[in-house]
Amino acid sequence: MQAMAHESPTFSPLYRQIKSLILQSLEGGEWRPGEVIPSETELAGRFGVSQGTVRKAVDELAAENLLLRRQGKGTYVASHNDPRAFFRFLRLEALKGDIGLSTSVPLECWRAKAGMEAARVLGLKLADPIVIVRRLLEFSGKPVVVDEIYLPGDVFGSLTLEMLKNWQGSLYSLFESEFGVRMVRAEERLRAVAADRSSAELLGVKEGSPLLSVERVSFSYGGRAVEWRRGLYSTAEHCYVNELS
């Protein structure tokens, strides 16, 4: 294993090549979410590099939340089943007091054909099969978010309302456990919109009152878009928090 020296244009340091190899093993499912990956010394042996080089590769993957290091135990593949990462993608906070218990209430789940927008975002062809889910998110028993979720049919074809209703845990932990799809990264676009009739009813607000529209595209390993969702947040008693640095 060698770094490409003396070849500036395509130069890539050794540890990044190692990082790619580890990523390939993650994508390929050699190590599954929640499992331990081999120790640093073992990986160093396998790849024929020093432990320090493996360490730097793993450091980056851990910084990207793909791996999780635990001193004395080992390095784990990050999982949405891990309570630590449970709400990593939900940036919601109560205006006063604690946010309380959250409940996901599945409303509908049906099959459809991808329109222009869905096809573009999910990297599908027009009219490819997709699955659409509508659900309500409640905090302390009060409805706060209505989500409409678009999923590629080739992967999520067998998803049903029953599965959603019976699942204990986050949506992403269901996707991970039942469909082998792990969300790794997401982009959100936020706007303020006026509540339409049906959303207003579900959220218990007046039609036309301001709602926070959150459009999210989620990516799995390898930058593959595997979810497109639009949430309408009632921000009467909650807000979306973000940290800038």
Partner DNA sequence: GAGTGGTCTAGACCACTGC
Partner DNA sequence: CAGTGGTCTAGACCACTCG
Nearer to a second copy, 148 or 237 (CB): 237
Contact between residue 218 and residue 225 where contact means Cβ atoms under 8 Å apart: yes
Give the shortest CB-240-to-a second copy separation in angstroms. 4
Work out what residue 220 binds among a second copy, DNA, none; the CB cut-off runs from 5 to 8 Å by kind: none
Q: Which of 97, 191, 197, 223 binds a second copy (CB under 8 A)?
A: 191
By CB under 8 A, tell whether 186 contacts a second copy: yes
Give the shortest CB-48-to-DNA separation in angstroms. 7
Q: Buried b vs exposed e over 177-204: b needs ≥16 C-beta within 10 Å?
A: bebebbbbeeeeeeeeeebeeebbebbe
Work out what residue 126 binds among DNA, a second copy, none; the CB cut-off runs from 5 to 8 Å by kind: none
Q: Which of 52, 115, 123, 210 binds DNA (CB under 7 A)?
A: 52
By CB under 8 A, tell whether 190 contacts a second copy: yes
Enter the DSSP assignment of 114. Answer: -
Q: Which of 51, 140, 213, 235 binds DNA (CB under 7 A)?
A: 51
Q: Whose CA is closest to 146, among 99, 198, 187? A: 198
Backbone φ, ψ for residue 98 (5° rounding)? -85, 160
Nearer to DNA, 15 or 221 (CB): 15
And the tokens for 101? 């218990």
Q: Tell the burial category of 171 from Cβ atoms under 10 Å away from its Cβ (0-12, 13-18, 19+).
A: buried
Q: Whose CA is closest to 140, among 178, 199, 97? A: 97
Work out what residue 211 binds among a second copy, DNA, none; the CB cut-off runs from 5 to 8 Å by kind: a second copy
Give the shortest CB-89-to-a second copy separation in angstroms. 5
Nearer to DNA, 18 or 133 (CB): 18
C-alpha 145: how far from chain center: 17
Please identify, among the stretches 5-13, 109-117, 208-216, 231-239, the one whose residues bind DNA according to the rule CB under 7 A: 5-13
Distance between CA atoms of 44 and 55, rounded to whole angstroms? Answer: 9
Binding site for DNA (CB under 7 A): 1, 3-8, 11, 13-16, 37, 39-42, 49-53, 55-56, 69-75
